[in-house]
Amino acid sequence: MKLWIKLSIILTIVVNIIIQIIWAVALPKVKENSYELIGEKLKSIAVAAAHTISGDDYEKLNFNDQQIILDEKFNEIRSHLIILKNAINIKEDIYTLNLLSEDTAQFGVMTNSKLYTGEHHLLSNKIAKAALLNSFNKDLCSYTDLYHDQNGEWITGLAPIKSSEGKIVGIVQVDHSAKTVSQKISSINDFLLWLRLILIPFIILLSIIVAKYFTAPIDKVIERIDRISKGDYTKSEQIRASGEISDLVVSAERMRQTILDQQETLFMTIAELKEAIKKAQASDNMKGEFLAVLSHEIRTPLNVILGNIEILKMEIADFTDKDFSEFTEPIKIGGLRLIRTVELIVLYSELTSNSYKFSEKFINLQDIIYEILLKYKTVVNNGVEIKYECISSTSRIKADERLVLEAVEQIIDNAVKYTKEGSIKICIESADNGGLSLLIEDTGIGISEEFMKDLFKPFRQEDMSYTRRFEGNGLGLALAKKINDVLGFDLTVESEKNKGTKVQIFIPNEKLFNF
């Protein structure tokens, strides 16, 4: 294949991968900013609604009375809230809550057509509960982070209702479904996908032009070197070039002069070069296993990308309205797999060289596990059951969220990958000696006793053959171990061949969030 063709293909692939990486990095920021803007808006609405309510009148209302919906003050407050809702044109419900206990609230005035006035509301979600308690106890106007309940994902704005004496008699709450933002992000993703498909012909054309421009002098140099190799040492015409290509032209001329003047020296140099190649090959044998894994994990998705690009190039000339996802989807999967492998290698390198920038905060270990399990909801093979039953009352820890997510995901990914029947059990429990213990136990293929000594070595797998049954780069457990070490956690593995594996992560007491 011609050099300019190879360069055109590489440029096309690189441009698309860069676009994908940029969007993958930007998407979390877009979501975060969107949720923050929504939260501020909801808080403002809640504050405005609280100011329209007379705290003295609200305090006199008996929400346990089923006839309260006929009360003049009740309907006056409800009317003010409805007017506010219509004025700012929001779809969400505006309603009030009365705190009965730390775990229970009571619905008050609502703008919804279906009134739940007087009904009790169990404060099951920790995020929503904490925000409500802060409004009641600390007189705070606030909004929540994104949280989950049985009805979906929500962001909530809250503001206290005060009497003339400054007493907090209730809370105004405004809910917003995160589904709206998700749908917007999804539509942007679809738009970018179609935009990239439309731009592919232009990217290919531009890549060909650039490749032709840069490879034209190289072709002339190749032609000159070819003549020299055939014994034609006559001086050729001047080649216009710059940068490294100019250096290549000069080197070719020097090579011609060297052959003419010092053929014997050249033969000696070739002999020395052959010896150097032998030494390099001996050194390469020492890195054989590493290169085998890395080659397998990078070459496989790259071949998928290259193959489908070729098909797309042939088909694009006769472009019709038919669905091209059968071509683009393998490209996407292959690219993501390649990017994922590179990301893991980079992360491991950063942790090993102590160049990783930590960002510690309080995170909920349960939320992380739920997020990971959602990815495997449709992946687990038939007959394999994931059990997530024993959950500690305390699961908030102080750590780097990215590292914790990566370590737990690597362990669960191994459990899913190597378990074809039986079950996978996940458990968060308080440790006997203090702290928290995360257990991940499977009934998979297990690990041999011989391989246990190499378990945490990077780029090592029990089956290192090219035709191995299971895909992977051999970096998962090594990365999980390295992450737990730098976080101050303790990771241990117990396993028996063909009987399963048990992985335990112990989180010391000083890393827990203690009320």
> What is the rounded CA–CA span in Å between residue 383 and residue 391?
24
Cα separations in angstroms, 201 against 207, 213, 296, 319: 10, 18, 30, 11
Q: Where are the alpha helices (DSSP H) in 353-455?
A: 365-375, 401-418
* pLDDT for 343: 78
In a domain, 110, yes or no: yes
Q: Which domain holds residue 451?
A: 360-511
Residues 202 and 58 in one domain: yes
Q: Residue 257 is encoded by which pair of tokens?
A: 């002069």
| Half-sphere exposure in the Cβ direction for 78 (13 Å, CA) | 20
> What is the rounded CA–CA span in Å between residue 419 and residue 334?
24
Identity at 120, one-letter amino acid code: H
Judge contact between 427 and 504, C-beta under 8 A.
no
Judge contact between 185 and 27, C-beta under 8 A.
yes
Q: What are phi and psi of 63, to 5 degrees?
A: -80, -5
Dihedral sign, Cα of residue 185, residue 186, residue 192, residue 195:
negative
Q: What is the CATH number of the domain that holds 449?
A: 3.30.565.10
In a domain, 506, yes or no: yes
> What is the rounded CA–CA span in Å between residue 160 and residue 50?
7
> What is the rounded CA–CA span in Å between residue 480 and residue 118?
50
* pLDDT for 172: 93
One digit per residue, the tens of pLDDT, for the chain of length 515 reads 565 566 677 777 777 777 777 767 766 777 778 788 888 888 999 999 899 898 898 989 998 888 888 888 999 998 988 888 888 887 778 889 999 888 899 999 988 877 788 888 888 888 888 999 989 888 889 988 888 877 778 889 999 999 988 899 999 999 888 777 677 777 777 777 777 777 777 777 777 776 666 666 777 777 777 777 776 767 666 666 666 667 776 777 777 777 667 666 766 677 777 777 776 555 544 443 454 455 456 656 666 665 666 666 566 545 555 555 565 666 666 666 776 777 777 788 788 878 788 888 998 888 888 888 888 766 555 678 888 877 766 788 899 999 999 999 988 888 888 888 888 898 888 887 778 889 999 888 888 888 888 788 877 766 554 445 556 667 788 888 899 998 899 999 998 888 889 999 998 888 887 65
Kindly compute the dihedral angle of the four CA atoms of residues 348, 350, 352, 353, in this order, to the nearest 10 degrees. 160
Cα separations in angstroms, 475 against 56, 406, 434, 494: 64, 12, 30, 18
For 142-155, letters b (16+ CB in 10 Å) and e give bbbebbeeeeeebb
> What is the rounded CA–CA span in Å between residue 441 and residue 358?
29
> What is the rounded CA–CA span in Å between residue 117 and residue 65?
9
Residues 178 and 37 in one domain: yes
> What is the rounded CA–CA span in Å between residue 200 and residue 311?
13
- H or E element in which residue 472 lies: none
Longest dimension (CA), the chain: 111
Dihedral sign, Cα of residue 448, residue 452, residue 456, residue 459:
negative
In a domain, 22, yes or no: yes
> What is the rounded CA–CA span in Å between residue 402 and residue 308?
33
Q: Residue 394 is encoded by which pair of tokens?
A: 């305390």
> Which own/partner pairs from 444-448 qualify as long-range (CB within 8 Å, at least 24 positions apart)?
444/415, 444/418, 444/419, 444/420, 444/500, 444/501, 445/418, 445/419, 445/420, 445/497, 445/498, 446/495, 446/496, 446/497, 446/498, 446/499, 446/500, 446/501, 447/493, 447/495, 447/496, 447/497, 447/501, 448/497
* pLDDT for 171: 93
In a domain, 207, yes or no: yes
Among the three residues 160, 194, 229, which one is the final residue of a domain in this structure? 229
In a domain, 169, yes or no: yes
Among the three residues 175, 195, 229, which one is the final residue of a domain in this structure? 229
Cα separations in angstroms, 137 against 121, 167, 408: 18, 10, 36
Look at the chain and report how many structural domains it folds into. 2
In a domain, 289, yes or no: no
> What is the rounded CA–CA span in Å between residue 39 and residue 36?
5
In a domain, 313, yes or no: no
Among the three residues 170, 205, 229, which one is the final residue of a domain in this structure? 229
231: region left, alpha or beta (phi > 0 left; psi from -120 to 50 alpha): left
> What is the rounded CA–CA span in Å between residue 16 and residue 9?
11
* pLDDT for 291: 41
Q: What is the CATH number of the domain that holds 164?
A: 3.30.450.20
Among 50, 297, 34, which residue's Cα sits nearest to residue 184? 34
Q: Residue 218 is encoded by which pair of tokens?
A: 């190289």
> What is the rounded CA–CA span in Å between residue 500 and residue 379?
19
Q: Where are the alpha helices (DSSP H) in 172-324?
A: 179-229, 243-261, 263-286, 288-316
How many residues does this entry show for the chain? 515
Identity at 14, one-letter amino acid code: V
Cα separations in angstroms, 199 against 43, 305, 308: 42, 17, 16
In a domain, 274, yes or no: no
* pLDDT for 292: 43
